[in-house]
Structure 1
């Protein structure tokens, strides 16, 4: 399983999942208002205050940067859990 860590296709899939999840969350928020709970990934922030665009831009795949890509993969997976 570790051979999948940091692969471009895995990171792209996680990014698509995050976009879908964020869309569903925004749809719920439009009806209920923001839900004010601490973020699991960033406990010092409310989950509704995370700048998902900035986080997804920061943790993207970079050719030739295996260690960073593995880190990005883990962070994006944690953000899926956080959502």
Structure 2
């Protein structure tokens, strides 16, 4: 499985998954109100207060930056868990 770590298609898929999950979270919040729990990825912040747009911009695929892309892949997986 490590051969997939940092691949552009994997990172793009994770980004779409996070956007989809966030849409579902917002739909639930519209009915129940925000859930005030700490983020798994950023325990010093509330999960509902994470700026996902800036996080997705920060951890996007960069051509020729294999190490950064592998790091981004892992961070995006952690954000899926956090959602």
- TM norm. shorter chain > 0.5: yes
2:71 alignment counterpart: 71
Question: Counterpart of 1:40?
Answer: 40
For 1:19 and 1:46, locate their aligned partners in 2 and report how far apart those are by CA, in whole Å: 18
Extract unaligned runs of 5+ from structure 2. none
Q: TM-score, normalised by structure 2?
A: 0.99
The equivalent of 1:4 in structure 2 is 4
What is the root-mean-square deviation of aligned Cα atoms in Å? 0.4
> Counterpart of 2:49?
49
Counterpart Cα distance in 1 of 2:56 and 2:17? 11
TM-score (norm 1): 0.99
Query: Counterpart of 1:82?
Result: 82
Moved over 3 A (4+): none
Q: How far does residue 58 in structure 1 lie from its aligned partner after superposition?
A: 0.3
